Structure formats: C-alpha cells, structure tokens
Amino acid sequence: MQSFIELELLFPTPNNQQPTTINYHPTPNSQKMIILDGKKVSNDIKDEIAEHVKAMVSNGEKVPHLAAILVGTDGASMTYVNAKVKACEKIGFKSTLIDLPDYTTERELLAKINELNTNDDIDGFIVQLPLPKHIDEQKVLMAVHPDKDVDGFHPTNVGKMALDLPTFLPATPYGILELLERYQVETSGKNVVVMGRSHIVGRPMSILMSQKRKAGDATVTVVHSRTKNLAEITKQADIIVAAIGISEFLTGDMVKEDVVIIDVGITRVPDATKSTGYRLAGDVDFESVSKKASYITPVPGGVGPMTIAMLLKNTLLVCERRSSN
C-alpha cells in the first residue's frame, strides 16, 4: 500500500490556548498523555491569517493569490488540492486551480509554469505531486521560480533552509515545528529520531530540528529502510518523527516512556467493519505507542491539517515581500 501525506489538514500562541488532553490509565497511577491537535492549531492559524488579510484589505493592499496546478485525476491529489482551494476561500485569499489532463506533455506543463512565474497577480503556486510518469518531476520543480515556490522544494530554497537563511520552509516540516512550538514541547538538547529521508519531510526535518531555533537545537538521527538495529535507535529517542511510509511500523516495544511522537504518514488499510472498506492509519501503531507517549499526533487530525496552514503562511509571506519591494 502506498503511503501519502495526510489529506486533512510566526504567529505567537494565544495565551489562553489549552492543549487537547486525554487520560490514559496503564497503571493505578494515571498518566496524562497530550494529543497534539493539528486540526485545532491549523484552524487557529487560518483564523490568524484571515485577520491579517482583513487588515491588508482595509489598508488597500493586494490580497494574497495562491495557484495550484493539478495534472491528471489522482484521487488523493484532487482531494488535497480542493482542500487548499477551500482554505483560501475561508481566509480571504484569491485562488486559481489549473486542472490539466493526464496526457499533458512535459513541455506543455513547463509552459504553464512559466506563465505563472511571469504573472504578477499570482504570489505563489504549487505543482501537485505526484505527476504522471512521463513527466520529470525534478525538471518541473526546478522550473518553478524560487520566489513563488511556496512549497519550498526548489534547490535555491532548500539551500537557504540548510544555511538557516530567510526562505520558504517545506510545509509539512514547517507545520511540525509550529505544532511543537505551540504546545511548548521542549526540543533543545533532546535526542530526535527522524524515520525517513525524503526531500519533502525527512531530510528537511532533520536539518531544521538541528538548527538554533525554537523547536530546534536537538541532536538528530535519521533512520531509513537500510538502517540496522533500528529499534535500538528509536528506543533512545526523546522525540520521533515517523515519515517512513509503512503503515503502523513503529510499535510500542520500539519506544521509551514519555516519548514525543509525530506521525506524518497516512495509509488506507483494508477494514471490513468500515462502510468505506478501509480505515486510515499512520506510520505509528497508535494503540501500543500511545501507552508510552507524553505527546502524540493522531491520524487523521495531526500533521496533515498543518501542511495546508503553513502553505498559506508561505503565500502570505511572499505577498508581503512583493508588496514591500
């Protein structure tokens, strides 16, 4: 089964914001385990952005405009792009969806990207992945102008991120940092294990959490499918970011007490008891791991909602940069 980023989805934390908690009783001594509620936090962020946009409109400033290119009819991609469009409507952004058939040629797609690069009304745009197999994804991502690359995937922006220079951060790692910061999860000096080495999540996550920043200053280890004695490594982790793409891979016997768990993955797992015929599961076996965790993200409702929220923050940032120039 193919794992994909969850479809749901630097403002200070409101002083009155309270984390969502649940009580778990593994022993007579009750242990409080805090759910990192990405859905709630993402809604708070979108509300904050909406207020910012209202102020921009009142001042006669340009409204942020986000565009998305969708090639083909992949169900997950269509759902995700539609969620972005709805989020734009909610917060007062302009949005444009460019829906192209799956037989679109690479040359035609690159021409459309160039059109958006030169369109002054569009502040930022994304090319929804995955693309049809006949199109070179790397060539496409390279074609997006770095100043409009709100996904943060262009090599220029990745390089700036690695050097801790101002740039667009990839939305999912950015969302994880924001979630940890808003819940005041201590990361400085902690042992962090990032499971997965993708360009979208694993690699940028490892870089960002090792940098001098809030939700950073950690000692980071990256593990992957070729790592030996993986469980021995995860058992030493204070914080685990699971983005390995294997359903319920991380189990309770692979973690220590009071671990912080960030579950990035989501997979459709066959389940005859569900009307849909499947249930959604992350890369973490929630049932066993949550018994040891101090903080944990749910699936769905954890990391996924944060991805769209941070994409919107990146779009707001580029709009403000362009307005000030």
- What residues are labeled active site? 84, 128, 151
* Residue pair 128/103 in contact by the 8 Å Cβ criterion: no
CA-to-CA dists, residue 316 to 202, 214, 297, 313, 320, angstroms: 25, 21, 26, 5, 6
Host H or E run for residue 68: strand 65-71
Buried-exposed string 234-254: b where 16+ CB fall within 10 A, e elsewhere: beebbbbbbbbbebbbbebeb
What is the C-alpha to C-alpha distance for residues 53 and 50, in angstroms, rounded to an integer?
5
Count of CB atoms within 10 A of residue 278's CB?
14
* Residue pair 304/270 in contact by the 8 Å Cβ criterion: no
Give 82: exposed, middle or buried? Use CB within 10 Å, 0-12, 13-18, 19+.
Answer: middle
* Short-list 195, 176, 170, CA closest to 246: 195
What is the C-alpha to C-alpha distance for residues 146 and 169, in angstroms, rounded to an integer?
12
**Start-to-end Cα distance in the chain:** 47
Host H or E run for residue 171: helix 171-182
* Short-list 119, 91, 61, 88, CA closest to 323: 61
| SS3 (DSSP) at 96 | strand
State the amino acid at position 315 in one-letter form: T
